[in-house]
Structure 1
Amino acid sequence: MKNIIWDFDGTLFDTYPQMVNSFLLALNKMHIDDFEIDEYEIYEIMRRHSLSIAIQKYSAHFNLDPEKLRKNYSHFENQNVLNAKPFQNAESLLKNSVDNGMKNFILTHRDQETLFKLLNNNHLSKCFEDIVDKDSDFPRKPNPAAINHLIEVNKLDRYATMMIGDRIIDIKAGLNAGIKTGLFDPDAIIIEKSNADYQFSNMYDLNLFLNDSKKDK
């Protein structure tokens, strides 16, 4: 592989602890007690589906206003997520890939301001050639439009490009764009068949794979 398009949350950065905690705080603010909440279930829904599905499910279950729940969640998450860190070995993987002549890109549903704060705080901004975020004018994954944009604007070889993410929508987006795909599933929580070309449980193995794929080219 010469080019990697990365998802951000749950792939490069382990943001789910902050996201789940923010969701719990949002429910608490709406007078839902901790003993009524299954923290791991929230995580499962976010990883297997999305934040929106979690809001939909818990709003219906507790008879809450979904827009108010989303607003409360955002209030807490905007600050909490800044404490998130890259997954173990992600920093060395990115810097090693750049040293080896590979190009990295990000395709994320996260907002630009928070994304760059996290990248800058961890000295990783220079590892990426181009980024498509929530503020970009593209349909959400699994629509391949954003991937196609990155490929066309940056003149990438589609057959030497891979999409790596932690959710099924990342894999579907890559497949829809006609590129290779890699599922990053560190806790083996994805039970739906992903159809990904490759699957990884940690950044160390992913780094070995990228090094080997670079040699093959």
Structure 2
Amino acid sequence: MSFHLPSFIAIVLSYLVGSLSFAVIVSRAMGMADPRSYGSGNPGATNVLRSGNKGAALATLVLDALKGWLPVFVIRVFGPDHDMGMGTAALAGLAAFLGHLYPVFFGFKGGKGVATAAGVLVGIDWMLGLATGMSWAIIAFFFRYSSLASLVAAFFAPSFYLIGGGIAWPLNRTVLVTLIAISLLLIWRHRENIRRLAAGTESRLGAKKKKE
């Protein structure tokens, strides 16, 4: 994929959009405690849910997903209508995801990126997002661990893309590499959750916040 200044600008802007930590922004707007101060300390929708405010958690989830979806969608619709455009869109999605993980506006201390990654997947192809989201929902429903569901979804996302390649969507090498990178980063960001899952101390979905 050849690289051009407009593509670079789009990727940088995507990172800046991703750097908007909506868990913190929504909590401040609603007069709630900073989500980094309780529970897991992660500025994400799952931890906001531990505050007991489902509306704030839902708003965080939707906004975090939107900031992953929006750059991909905009580039796909308004960018060049060929393979290079899809590759640039995927890289913009990766940039938004990295912005969530390492937000420039919040001291480079961000969340784990599950909702933002989901938005990127939907932006690439809604069927890919649906398949991965269903994997998350099934594991979350039966085991009640958001982290475990996220790890399973991260593992399957690149696999679903490969399986559907040539059938539901054309394969693109840049997209595949992007999906693998996002999956590996998700697993890395959940390393503490993996330790707690192994130890049997991981918090389940719906658990109230704990003062630490």
TM-score range, shorter chain: 0.3 to 0.5
The structure whose residues are more often strand, as a share, is: 1
**Length-normalised TM-score, structure 2:** 0.33
**Length-normalised TM-score, structure 1:** 0.33
Higher relative contact order (CA 8 A, sep 6+): 1
